[in-house]
A = this chain, B = another copy of it.
Amino acid sequence: MPPSAPRTRPNVVEPPTQDRLIADALIADIVEWRIAPGAWLREREVAQRFGVSHAPVREAFRHVARVGFIQIVPWRGAHVIDLDAHAAIEVFELWKALFGVICRMAAQAFNPADGQELLKRIEAFKTIVRETPDTLAHLAVSNSIGSFIAHRSGAPMASELLDRVALFARWQHHVLRVDYLESIKPRPGIRSAELYEAVCHHIVRGEADAADRAARELLAFLQKHFEPALDQFLAERKAEPAKRRRPPRA
* Interface residues, chain A, with chain B CB atoms under 8 Å away: 12, 14-15, 17, 20, 55, 58-59, 62-63, 65-66, 68, 71, 74-75, 86-87, 89-91, 93-94, 96-98, 100-101, 104-105, 154-158, 160-161, 165, 168
| A90 touches which of B20, B65, B100, B158 (Cβ 8 Å) | B158
Residue of B nearest to A13 (CB): B73
User: DSSP class of A's interface residues: helix, strand, loop or mixed?
Assistant: helix
Residues of chain B within 8 A (CB-CB) of A156 are: 87, 90
Provide the bound-state CA to CA distance between A55 and B101, in Å.
Answer: 38
How many angstroms between the C-alpha atoms of A155 and B87 in the bound complex?
Answer: 8
A157 adjacent to B90 (CB under 8 Å): yes
Which residues of B have CB within 8 Å of A165? 157
CA–CA, A97 and B91, complex, Å? 13
Of chain B, the residue at the smallest CB distance from A157 is B90
User: Contacts A157-B87, A158-B93: A74 and B15 contacting too (C-beta < 8 A)?
Assistant: yes
Alpha-carbon distance A68/B101, docked complex (angstroms): 18
Docked-complex contact A71 and B12, CB < 8 angstroms: yes
Bound-state Cα–Cα, A213 to B236, Å: 35
Does A94 lie within 8 Å of B62, measured CB to CB?
A: no
Residues of B contacting A12 with CB < 8 Å? Answer: 71
Chain B residues with CB under 8 A of A104: 93
| Inter-subunit contact A94/B90 (CB<8 Å) | no
Q: Which residues of B contact A91 (CB under 8 A)?
A: 157
A228 to chain B, nearest CB (A): 18
